[in-house]
Each structure stands twice: as C-alpha cells, then as structure tokens.
Amino acid sequence: MGENRTVKRWSPVIVYTSARLALFIVVATLLAIAGMQGILLLMVALVVSGLLSYVLLSRLRDAVSAAVVGRVEGRTWSPPAGWGALAGLGGLRRRLEARTTAEDEADDARRAVEEPGT
C-alpha cells in the first residue's frame, strides 16, 4: 500500500493533435452522412473542424502553448537516446545567448571608442 505510483501523462501536443484529428473525423463523417462527397467534403470538414477546435479546444491549446514555452526556456527538453549528432541541440539556446552577449559587448566597446563623449 505504501507504493508511490507515477502516472504517465500524455504530452499536451499529442492530446491536442489527437483531439483535432478526432474532431475532423467526426465532422467529416457527419458531412458524409448528410450526402457531401469528394474534395468538397474534405475542405468543408477542414474548415468546420478548425472553427470548432478554436472554440472547443482552447484549454488544450493553452496547455500546448505552456509546454512549448517551457521547452523554449530550457526547463524540460533533453535529447532522446539515439539522436547522435543532433543531441548537441539541447545547448543551442545557451550558445546563442552567449554569442549574443559577446557580440553586444564587442559592439558596446566599439561604440565607446568611436564616440568618446558618451
């Protein structure tokens, strides 16, 4: 009874994408039952499911947004095993920030030499 069980949660991106796909399938099925066919069926189903997902899936979309922001800030992402040379992308943001800082410092030093009055 004293076991701590961890519950694996699905990625918000997977949940949102699955919900969008399911909504598209439901809308397409209803339109097909109503007699629509072919490319028109697909186009109308795409537009209608897109509008419905904008309204019905806003909480899921917010969760995806929070997950993306979390990854961009470097809090949660680590490269999966087997990525090989691509595994170095995890530190890309840190390297870019370091280069930007160095470039800003060099630019400030150049301006200080060119404009001695400031």
pLDDT per residue, tens digit, the chain (118 aa), is 556 666 667 788 898 999 999 999 999 999 999 999 999 999 999 999 999 999 998 888 888 888 888 777 765 555 556 555 555 555 666 777 888 888 989 888 888 888 766 5
Using the structure block, give the residue that is written with the tokens 């993306």.
68
Between CA 7 and CA 105 the distance in angstroms is 47
Between CA 91 and CA 84 the distance in angstroms is 14
Per-residue confidence (pLDDT) for residue 85, from 0 to 100: 53
Q: Are 70 and 76 in contact (CB under 8 A)?
A: yes
* Cα separation values, 14 from 20, 54, 93, Å: 10, 17, 24
Per-residue confidence (pLDDT) for residue 47, from 0 to 100: 96
Helices 12-33, 58-72: inter-axial angle, 10-degree rounding: 150
Per-residue confidence (pLDDT) for residue 117, from 0 to 100: 62
Per-residue confidence (pLDDT) for residue 49, from 0 to 100: 96
- Domains of the chain by residue range: 8-75, 89-118
Q: Are 84 and 59 in contact (CB under 8 A)?
A: no
Between CA 19 and CA 6 the distance in angstroms is 24
Q: Are 12 and 66 in contact (CB under 8 A)?
A: yes
